[in-house]
Chain A
Amino acid sequence: MANAKEKDSHVNSAFSSRKSKLLQQIVELDDLERSLINELQGDLPLVEKPFLAVADKIGSTEQEVIKCLQQLLDKGVITRFGPLFDISKGSGCFSLCALKVPESRISEVTEVVNSFTQVAHNYLRENEWNMWFVLACEDQKVLTETFDNILLQTQCRGINCPKEKEFFIGLYLPV
């Protein structure tokens, strides 16, 4: 039991350790920033000096690339730089869930939902099903319990929509 608990807390701290800035405004980008964002939505070459390889490709220098990438991260223009793990290939259990939250209760319910460490993302959307969040749990049992717990604590109607099949994943947003 102690082990399971330890594993759980490890998993959850991993998921919540890096809160990205919730920057929600457009940022002016210069040419280098633009080419770097486009280039690195692809794959960093697996070589000793990967930023040098990127610099050569986009016509910059290793130093400039490193500085620019760090600034993009600091400014919140990018939310992450690093390996993107396919968590479905690892351990853990995930689902997209939605609640039907009355307009007048949105902030109160947001607080309850966000207080669950298992809630990885939470978005407010324009629909009668207006609160959409991703649950990340160590297994199916914990996921079901967490979802039930959220329904109980919020007293909202909810749907649990785990993915049954993935057809495509790959985000490329040219700038």
Chain B
Amino acid sequence: MSSILNRVELEKRIIELTQAGLPIESRPFKTIADKLGISESAVVAIFDSMKQKGLVRRIGLVPNHYAIGYLFNLMTVWDIEDSDIDQVGKSIGELDFVSHCYQRPRHLPDWPYNFFAMIHGKTEQEANEKMQQIADLVKDSCSQFTALKSCKILKKTGLRI
């Protein structure tokens, strides 16, 4: 049995070994295990515990949304009544076409928006319709909103926020 310290150390090493990706081969966990000198089942168990702690959200792929046809990525921003933000955030978060949504600080008078929701659509019309759906949903709590269409990726690293 490894001590708690060892477990933390192993998690760190596993993160280092897999931050660029998981080996794409028949037994990926065995490859990692061999590098660490521990058993395959121990690596699986550590991943399992990192998932339970929320340190690993999931193991899977991240599509390049342009390549798979989601050309219209709209960052929508909303000026939501502060007292309603938890309820609004929850209901927007439940919409299946919203990928991320966050409360962020306003910067008055420059920037009045305190809520961000990311929408992806295959056409501009589809993305706009989705934004309108949100607008209908939050109309009693929202005084203004807008969309910031992305025109160009200027830099992208492997880090997913």
List the interface of chain A (C-beta within 8 A of B): 14-27, 29, 36-37, 40-44, 46-52, 62, 66, 69-70, 72-73, 75-87, 89-90, 94, 96, 98, 110, 113-114, 119-127, 129, 131-134, 136, 157, 159, 161-173, 175
Contact = CB atoms under 8 A, between A and B. Distances in A.
Contacts of B24: 51, 66, 69-70, 73, 81
A175 B99 contact: no
Contacts of A157: 110
B157 A52 contact: no
Contacts of B66: 23-26
A36 B153 CA distance: 26
Contacts of B152: 123-124
Interface string B101-115: 111110100110000
Interface stretch (B49-57, B127-135, B137-145): B49-57
Nearest to A17: B20
A85 B15 contact: yes
Contacts of A132: 75, 148
B25 A66 contact: yes
Contacts of B19: 14, 17-18, 82, 85
B61 interface: yes
B1 interface: no
B45 to A, nearest CB: 9
Given A18-B157, A121-B155, A165 B103 contact: yes
25 contacts: A20-B64, A23-B67, A27-B68, A41-B63, A44-B22, A48-B29, A48-B40, A50-B29, A52-B26, A66-B26, A78-B64, A79-B64, A82-B19, A83-B18, A84-B160, A110-B154, A123-B154, A124-B150, A125-B150, A136-B159, A161-B116, A165-B85, A165-B103, A167-B101, A171-B62
A50 B99 CA distance: 26
Given A82-B21, A121-B157, A126-B151, 20 more contacts: A17-B158, A44-B60, A73-B21, A78-B63, A80-B160, A81-B62, A82-B20, A84-B62, A85-B57, A114-B155, A120-B161, A121-B153, A122-B153, A125-B148, A125-B149, A131-B154, A161-B107, A163-B102, A166-B101, A167-B92
- The DSSP consensus for interface residues of chain B is mixed
B54 A81 contact: no
A83 B22 contact: yes
B150 A159 contact: no
Contact of A159 (B25, B90, B111): B111
Interface of B: 15-16, 18-22, 24-30, 40, 44, 47-48, 50-51, 53-71, 75, 85-86, 89-90, 92-94, 96, 98-105, 107, 110-111, 116, 120, 146, 148-161
A114 B53 CA distance: 33
User: From DSSP, what is the main secondary structure of chain A's interface residues?
Assistant: mixed
A19 B44 CA distance: 27
B54 to A, nearest CB: 5
A136 B161 contact: yes
A57 to B, nearest CB: 13
A127 B60 CA distance: 33
B84 to A, nearest CB: 13
